[in-house]
Every structure is written in structure tokens, then in C-alpha cells.
Amino acid sequence: MSVARKKKGAAKRTPRKAPAPKKAPKKAPKKVVAAIPTRPQLMRLRRSRVHGRGAFAVRRIRKGTRIIEYLGDRITHRVADLRYENKSNRDNHTFLFIVDRGVVIDGGIKGNEARFINHSCDPNCESVIDDRRVFIESIRTIQAGEELNYDYQIGRDRTDPPDVDEIFACRCGAASCRGSMLWPPKRKARK
């Protein structure tokens, strides 16, 4: 039987371990947005006297009911500007909904029926932003057959043409109609 002897001055060899596999960098856990119930079965689309197609109550909707989420392609303001840069400034038709300083929802792409809810200066609904999501909720009881609407409050811009109020004219017919979908209302000229 042979016995291996360690030579004097030789380093002891230890078997090399395979390098530990590199761990993938930890990703932030994907935020799971809790389901927020909406009730799209409360409305149907049909021709509107206000503008194009509109959303109408199928049955009575109580005040405070969350009716539908405004869906569409979630994009940045820059992408929205680039996407519609060739659009005529005389065209008032838009499905863009500003959520915050970073996000715009383009209801014209991957959108749902919420994009057909028309503007009114005396609305029966309002838009509510909850966790960077947009919902349409009733602010008073709405009767069956009544058109759903909310105040768009489209922001004014310094680059708007002088006749922007005519371009974004309101046709809601409310007694309190301000004549424009823009917000704030146009200031009256000082004398």
C-alpha cells in the first residue's frame, strides 16, 4: 500500500470550487394594482345629440357609483405630442386623458367605451384618478336613458390659436354652459 507523502515546502492543494452562479439583480417587485370594480354594464353607446356617439344609462345609477375605467395606451406626454404632431390645430377631437405629469392615456388606441362619454358644463359624472388610473363616477343620481357626461376641463395653452374657444366649442345645451370645453373659462376683456 502506497501512502502519498506531502513534500516539504509544497503547498497543499485544495480542490477549486466552481464559482457561484451570479445572481440576477433583484428587480423591484411588480406593483399589483388591486382590482377596482367598475360597472360598464350600466351604460350603452348610441348616437348623441351633443356629439357623435355618447354613453347612456341603461338603468338608474346612484350618486357615487364608479361606472367605468378610462382605458387606453398609457404613454408619456412626449409620445403623445409626437403621435399627434401632424394633427390640425383646428381638430378638437381627442381621446387623450392626462393622468399626471408623466402619464397620458390615449383612449384612441386600446381604449374602451369610456372614451365616448361626452363633455358637459353641467355634468352628471366626474373623472376620478385613483392610483394613476382614471375612473368615471356619478356625482348625482342618473336616470335610465340619460346621457352620461363629465366636464373635460381641457387646459388652455399659450400656443393656442386666438379662436381656440370656437374650435373647442361646447354643445352641451346646459343653462350654465360656458360655451367651451376649455378650462378655466375665457377671461372677459377689460375695458
pLDDT band at 114 (very low <50, low <70, confident <90, very high): very high
Q: Which three cell numbers stand for residue 32?
A: 399589483
Residue 47 forms beta bridges with which residues? 53
Identify the DSSP state of 83.
Answer: H
Position with higher pLDDT, 9 vs 120: 120
Of the pLDDT bands very low, low, confident and very high (cuts 50, 70, 90), residue 6 is: very low
Assign 88 a pLDDT band (cuts: 50, 70, 90): confident
Lowest mean pLDDT among 36-40, 48-52, 149-153: 36-40
- The whole-number average pLDDT for the span 45-59 is 95
Q: What does the pLDDT average to over 23-52?
A: 71
CA-to-CA dists, residue 96 to 14, 105, 141, 144, 181, angstroms: 67, 6, 27, 28, 14
Distance, CA of 162 to CA of 54 (rounded, Å): 29
Across the range 101-118, mean pLDDT stands at 95
Q: Which amino acid is at 155?
A: G
* Residue-level pLDDT at 7: 40
Alpha carbon of 12 to those of 1, 132, 133: distances in Å?
22, 63, 65
Q: How many CB atoms lie within 10 A of CB 152?
A: 21
Residue 31 has pLDDT above 80, yes or no: no
Q: For 118, what's the count of Cα atoms within 13 Å in the CB-facing half-sphere?
A: 26
Question: pTM here?
Answer: 0.75
Residue 118 has pLDDT above 70, yes or no: yes
